[in-house]
Structure 1
Amino acid sequence: MFKIGLIVNPLAGLGGSVALKGSDGMAEQARALGAEPRALQRTQLALAELLELNDRFSLYTVAGEMGETVCQALNLPVTVCYQPQSRVTTTADDTRLAVTALVEQGIDLLLFAGGDGTARDVCAAAPPGLCVLGIPAGVKIHSGVYGVTPAGTGRLLARLVRGEPVSLMAADVMDIDEAAFRQGRVHAKRYGEMLIPGDLSYVQAVKVSGVESDELVLTDIADEIIERMQAEPEAYYIMGSGSTVAAVMERLGLENTLLGVDLVHRQRLVASDLDATRLHQQIAGKPGKLVITLIGGQGHIFGRGNQQLSPAVIKAVGQHNIWLLATKTKLNSLQGRPLRVDTNDPELDRQLSGLMRVITGYQDEVLVRVANPENEAY
């Protein structure tokens, strides 16, 4: 029997949809703004890939929402090895103590759901040589220990449970200063490394950060977008996060939220740093375009730091109204890997799969494949 340890950070990702750009220390504020927990749902998506193999593995986990709840929802037999210190909320200490308790059970792999903060806590407590795999559930995920999507994580774990040969590799655990991040500054730091199953079809790369250096290419992209805006002046333009979109805003002479989502109409700023609810309210029933870029090195379009672009927002805009921007240098950094979408809506992810046009300069586009592991054959 393959022995899996499971830890869920039930607070992971709470701050994303309400534009808090993180969840560390922000859980109560996020809930007050109407945020809904997403870690349990995303863990369920991963574990669902194992249901037909439930006679080949045994599960060890933490009481309540740190693992037991989602296992019960899927009718998966589970052994509870740790009880959180408080019934009100969970803490980083709970994660670290849970790691120790699960390791004592002789697990073959530790599966955990969360973001970079959770990965740091796991890394701090995990013994050298422990194989781990993360279910992406946080707002900011710079670490290379996570699957590209929850279902992708589950598919990779299913390969291990079936006994298929999978190479192991060391992956960096990264985290950023959330206070600086909320002010538009990215201060990333490496906190260590952990051993993961090394299949890059399923595991995301470490995020490539930094501002694009080729200013001429960014100017060309910006000029292309502005020309398109002038051709459709009545549309409302949702301006996503990142330096590529920031170049468009700078060219328009508009204030920009580098790590947030803004709304532009008739080349004027309508609203800044919108959360998912306000953004949907602003564009509902109106013609809209979504101007976004991808994360260099990872290729994620949705689901990494831009949860304000909720499934409801994406559906309201429409797939054919998404303008994806990237330099060819950024696309080349993917080394042939496809683009990824992780909207927290599996059906929408499937609809977004296929070939997508990427604007790479003035009157210059390329076709790039969007594909998630769960939407492809084993």
Structure 2
Amino acid sequence: MRIGFLCNPIAGMGGRVGLKGTDGKVDEARARGAQPRAPDRARRALNALAERAPDATILAWGDPMGASLVRAAGFDPEVLGSPDDEETAAADTRRAAVAFREADADLVLFVGGDGTAADVAEALEGSSVPMLGVPAGVKVYSSVFGVSPEDAAYVAATFERTERREVMDIDEDDYREGEVHPELRAVAHVPVAEQLQSGKQMGGGSVESLAEGVADDVRARPETTWVLGPGSTVGEVKETLGFEGSPIGVDVYRDGEVVALDAAEREILDALGEDNVIVVTPIGGQGFVFGRGNPQLSPDVIRECDLEIVASRDKLDDLRVLRVDTDDPELDEALRGWVKVRVGRFERRMMKIV
């Protein structure tokens, strides 16, 4: 295995001295007595990696971006370059990631926060090289990080497949003023593993990203009939598609047009085609996907459609399981089991229908 390793040496410095981030605040952080956090996090990850994969080939970037840390962990790295100045910048991160990609790295393992993640993702865009973060920033909103440095090392040494995950970032000046508006910066290939943290998108940002993902699918499949259920989450999808849907009703959409608005069961059945998808969101606090608030989605309708469940992360965090009560016990039984719930533009979370 060939792992490209880089460390953003200033990541997280502003946190303990109350700056809520380091972007544009490195000098002030140092003046307040801030100590580097990222190198210690890097050491922990590298030491754990050496235990798990001692024969791995490590591609590194010159100090202070990790080469000596790699050597200290017992590896003999291939150093592909170094920063232009002692004070590193985002451009150095991007240059390192590009070099790792061109050197056929199987994974880029980086130490930093969301800004570092965005820079690595930008450099890897268009390639299939996966990335994985060792969390060291003040804010870590993206879902491309291990839960801990040791978890990141475990994932790096053992992963077998990847999935697309979201890289989020926020404006730190706004953050310091108490405003949190996560924005999607990139979508990256990331190892599939339980030891990865979920993204920390908040409020409308998460639902907006989710809605964009569903709308992307709708636009890519003009021949498909989309049965859009009630609720504010699916309402955001309708708004993203450019129409004002019925907030507590079911709307039917196909090929850029609203086929039926606030439709009853019969209207829905009449509007269906050969390829149909129901998009629904569970009821908050209860978890019902069918049987509460959407009786128009009858067993006959459900049987004619594929199912896309969407929900914000906050909603799912409050739900242990999902439920169905369609008035058809056989259909209820068929629906039970593990399902993927879309929680972001590309990300999904496994939930169980009981």
Tell me the TM-score normalized by structure 2: 0.57
Q: Does 1:202 align with 2:195?
A: yes
- Note closer, same or farther for the CA distance 1:335–1:146 as it changes in structure 2 (3 Å cut): farther
The 5-angstrom pairing of residues 217-366 of structure 1 reads 333=317
- For residues 49-128 of structure 1, the aligned pairs below 5 Å read 49-87=48-86, 89-127=87-125, 128=127
Return the alpha-carbon distance in structure 2 between the equivalents of residues 157 and 138 of structure 1.
19
Larger Rg: 2
Give the corresponding residue for 2:285.
none
Indicate how the Cα distance of structure 1 residues 334 and 25 shifts in structure 2: closer, same or farther if over 3 A, else same: farther
Shift of 1:335: 6.7
Q: How does 1:146-185 map to 2 (within 5 A)?
A: 146-160=145-159, 166-185=160-179
Give the structure 2 partner of residue 24 of structure 1: 23
Q: SS of the counterpart of 2:146?
A: coil
Task: Say which is worse superposed, 109-118 or 49-58, in terms of deviation.
Answer: 49-58
What's the CA shift for 1:155? 1.3
How many pairs are equivalent?
212
Q: Deviations over 1:86-126 (max 9, x none)?
A: 12x00001111111111121110000010010011111111
**Contiguous gaps of at least 5 residues in structure 1:** 161-165, 212-328, 337-378
CA contact (8 A) 1:84 1:94 kept: yes
**Preserved CA contact (<8 Å) 2:50 2:74:** no
Quote the residue 2:182 is aligned against. 188
Distance 1:198 1:135 in 2: 15
Distance 1:169 1:335 in 2: 24
SS of the equivalent of 1:135 reads: strand
Partner of 1:311: none
CA contact (8 A) 1:10 1:40 kept: yes
Residue pair 1:49, 1:158 contacting (<8 A) in 2 also: no
What residue number does 1:315 align with?
none
For 2:131 and 2:115, the matched residues in 1 are separated by: 15
Equivalent in the alignment of 1:43: 42
Q: CA deviation at 1:55?
A: 4.3
Residues 114-156 of structure 1: CA distance to partner in whole angstroms, max 9, x if unpaired? Answer: 0010011111111431111100000001111111111111111
TM-score (norm 1): 0.53
Superposition deviation, residue 176 in structure 1: 0.2
Distance 1:41 1:147 in 2: 15
SS of residue in 2 equivalent to 1:65:
coil
Q: Deviations over 1:339-372 (max 9, x none)?
A: xxxxxxxxxxxxxxxxxxxxxxxxxxxxxxxxxx
- Partners of 1:74 and 1:55 lie apart in 2 by 10
Residue 291 of structure 1 corresponds to none
> Does the Cα contact within 8 Å between 2:168 and 2:184 map onto a contact in 1?
yes
Name the aligned partner's letter for residue 47 of structure 2: A
Paired residue type of 1:13: G
CA distance in 2, matches of 1:4, 1:334: 37
Amino acid at match of 2:179: R
- Cα pair 2:155 2:195 within 8 Å, conserved: yes
Supply the distance in 1 between the matched residues of 2:7 and 2:102 (Cα, whole angstroms).
18
Displacement of 1:15 in angstroms is 0.5
Q: Between the two structures, name the one with larger relative contact order (CA 8 Å, sep ≥ 6).
A: 1
Q: CA separation in 2, counterparts of 1:132 and 1:145? A: 7
Q: Within 2, Cα distance between the matches of 1:41 and 1:104? A: 28
CA distance in 1, matches of 2:53, 2:112: 23
Shift of 1:4: 0.3
| Aligned mates of 1:55, 1:32 — CA distance in 2 | 39
Please give the alpha-carbon distance, in whole angstroms, between the structure 2 residues aligned to 1:159 and 1:191. Answer: 27
Give the whole-Å Cα distance in 2 for the aligned partners of 1:96 and 1:41: 22
Q: Which runs of at least 4 in structure 1 moved beyond 2 Å after TM superposition? A: 52-56, 329-332
CA distance 1:198–1:54, change in 2 (3 Å): closer
Cα distance in 2, alignment partners of residues 57 and 72 from structure 1: 13
For 1:334 and 1:198, the matched residues in 2 are separated by 24
Query: Aligned residues: percent identity?
Result: 38
How many angstroms apart in 1 are the aligned matches of 2:168 and 2:51?
A: 34
SS at match of 1:152: helix
For 2:40 and 2:146, the matched residues in 1 are separated by: 15
Q: Determine helix, strand or coil for the equivalent of 2:108.
A: strand
- The answer to whether the 8 A contact 2:53-2:157 is kept is no
The residue type equivalent to 1:176 in the other structure is: I
Aligned-partner SS, 2:185: strand
